Amino acid sequence: MPDKFHFKCIDCGAEYPGDRVIYLCPACEATNDPLAPPRGVLKTVYDYARIRGRSPGTDLFGHLKSEGFLPLLPLKSLDSWPKLRIGRTPLYEAATPSPGGKAGGEADRRTGGLLFLKDDSQNPTFSFKDRASALVSAWARENGITTLVAASTGNAGSSLAGICAAQGQQAVIVVPAAAPLAKLTQILMYGARLIPVRGTYDDAFDLSVQISAKYGFYNRNTAFNPLTIEGKKTVAFELFDQLGCTVPDRIFIPVGDGVIFSGVCRGYEDLLQLGIIDRMPVLVAVQSEGSCNVAMNLGKETFTIRPSKTMADSISVDVPKCFRMTAGFIGKYQGEVLLVSDEEIRQASGHLSRSTGIFSEPAAVAAYAGMMKYHREGRLASDSRNVVLLTGSGLKDPAAVQSIIHMPAPVDPDLGSAGPLLKSFIPS
C-alpha cells in the first residue's frame, strides 16, 4: 500500500490502497439496503508515527501548518489545490445571547461563556462544501480525471461546479428540482451540466451513482467518496490555530448526512493521534426536528426513516449517508445531539443577522439555534468556550426568511413620504 495513506472500512475493517478510485468497501456495499444508511464507508488512515518522526523540534502543529497540512491530506502536492482561497475563513468572537434570545453583552458572557462563530460562508462559492469539493477536485487533477459528478440539495453542487470551473474540469450536478433557485443559478453560472430530478435528495444521490458507474465520472457524493470527509476536517486544524492552539469546550455543527460532523471529528482525531491535543471537544450534532434521521436512530438496531420536511434544505436528508461513521464518533467521543424546530431556526436567523452582521442560510443557522437552545437550558458554563459552525450564506436561500422580514412599499422621494419609515430612528 502507498506509504502516505490507505482506506479502512469502518464496518468490516478491510483495507484498500489510496492510489485508486474507490468509494464504499466493495464487500460491505454488496449487502447494502437502499432504505438504510450504507455500510462500507471508508476512513482515511495515515502513518501517525511517521508524521511525528519527520517533524523537527517540538512544534509539530507549527511544522504541519507550514506545510499546508499536506502530511495529513491524501494529496501529493499543494499545487493540486484550486487557485482559489479555500478555507482560512474568519473566526469571530461574539456575545453569547441572553437566555431569552436578546442581543448579548458582557453580562451574558459571564453566564454563557465565550462564543466564537466560524463563518464558512466566506469560501469561494459561499459554503463549507468548498472544503470537500476542493480536495476531491485536487485528487482528480492528480489522477488525470476531468469530469466529476455530484448529487446535491444545492450547496455541494454549486461548490463542485465552481471548483471545477477554477480547475478546468467538467461538473455534472444532479439536484432535486425543488432546490433553491439561488443555488441552481450558481450551478448554471459556473458552466456545469445541471440535471434537476422530480424527487428527493436521496433520489438525486442514487441517479448520480448510476451516472458515475455508467460513464466513469468521478463521484464527489457525501460520504460515498471518502475524500469528502478529509476535505471537511481541515476546519478543525483552522479552529485549533485560530483559538491559540487550544481546544474549545463545545462545537455546534449542523447535521444532515453527518459528513461535516464526521469531518470535524476526524480533524481533531488527527491532532489527538499525533499528541498535539490531549482531549476532544464536545461535538454537538444539531438537527432540524423536521429532518432528524440521525438523532432518532442512534442506538437502534433497525433504521427507521422519517420523511424530511424542514426549511433547512441543506440538512434535509431521509437516509443519512454518513450515519454509521457519525454515530460511531458520537459514541466514541461522547458527542451530543440536539433538535431545533423550524420556528427556532427562523428566530435564530433574525437574531444572528441583527446582532452579528452575519446572514446565514437556515441549515447553518440550525447550529446557532442549537447553541441558543443549549444556553436557554442553562447548559453553557460561564467559563466555557463554544464554537458555532456557520456553513453557508443566507443569500443561498433568501426566500426562507421572508416570513420574518417586512419589505416596505415604495415611497415618493421626499421627506414627507420617507418620514414615517424613519419614525423609530428619530429622537422624540
CATH code at position 260:
3.40.50.1100
Taking residues 84-110, report their average pLDDT.
73
Q: Are strands 385-390 and 250-254 parallel, antiparallel or unpaired?
A: parallel
Q: CA 153 → CA 7, 181, 197, 295, distances in Å?
A: 27, 11, 11, 20
Residue of 195, 202, 216 lying closest to 291 (CA atoms): 202
> In whole angstroms, what is the distance from residue 263 CA to residue 251 CA?
13
Provide the percentage of residues in the chain whose pLDDT is more than 90.
87
pLDDT digit string (tens) for 289-337?
Answer: 999 999 999 999 999 999 999 999 999 999 999 999 999 999 999 999 9
Asked if the model's pLDDT at residue 108 lies above 90, the reply is: no
Give the mean pLDDT of the chain: 94
**Whole domain around residue 333: which residue ranges?**
91-126+229-404
Other CB atoms within a 10 A radius of the CB of residue 122 amount to 17
> In whole angstroms, what is the distance from residue 130 CA to residue 382 CA?
34
**Cβ burial, residue 142 (10 Å; 0-12/13-18/19+):** middle
The answer to whether position 369 is within a domain reads: yes
DSSP 226: T
Cell triple for residue 266? 476526524
Asked if the model's pLDDT at residue 57 lies above 90, the reply is: no
Give the sheet arrangement for strand 42-46, strand by strand: 15-17, 5-9, 42-46
At residue 425, the pLDDT reads 85
pTM for this model (two decimals)? 0.94
Other CB atoms within a 10 A radius of the CB of residue 284 amount to 24
Asked if the model's pLDDT at residue 107 lies above 50, the reply is: no
The answer to whether position 141 is within a domain reads: no
> In whole angstroms, what is the distance from residue 193 CA to residue 195 CA?
7
The angle formed by the CA atoms of residues 250, 262 and 251, to the nearest 5 degrees, is 10
The string over 85-100, giving b where at least 16 C-beta atoms fall within 10 Å of a residue's C-beta and e elsewhere, is ebbebeeeebbbbbee
SS3 100: coil
Cell triple for residue 320? 443519512
The answer to whether position 328 is within a domain reads: yes
When divided into structural domains, the chain yields a total of: 1
Cell triple for residue 76? 501529493
For the ranges 103-107, 126-130, 359-363, the lowest mean pLDDT is seen at 103-107
The answer to whether position 423 is within a domain reads: no
The answer to whether position 50 is within a domain reads: no
The answer to whether position 348 is within a domain reads: yes
The answer to whether position 424 is within a domain reads: no
**What does 357-392 look like in DSSP terms, one character per residue?**
S--B-HHHHHHHHHHHHHHHTT-S-TT-EEEEEE-B
Q: Are strands 91-94 and 114-119 parallel, antiparallel or unpaired?
A: antiparallel
Greater confidence (357 vs 102) lies with 357
pLDDT digit string (tens) for 70-80?
Answer: 999 999 999 99
> In whole angstroms, what is the distance from residue 61 CA to residue 43 CA?
22
Asked if the model's pLDDT at residue 136 lies above 50, the reply is: yes
Taking residues 63-68, report their average pLDDT.
96
The answer to whether position 421 is within a domain reads: no
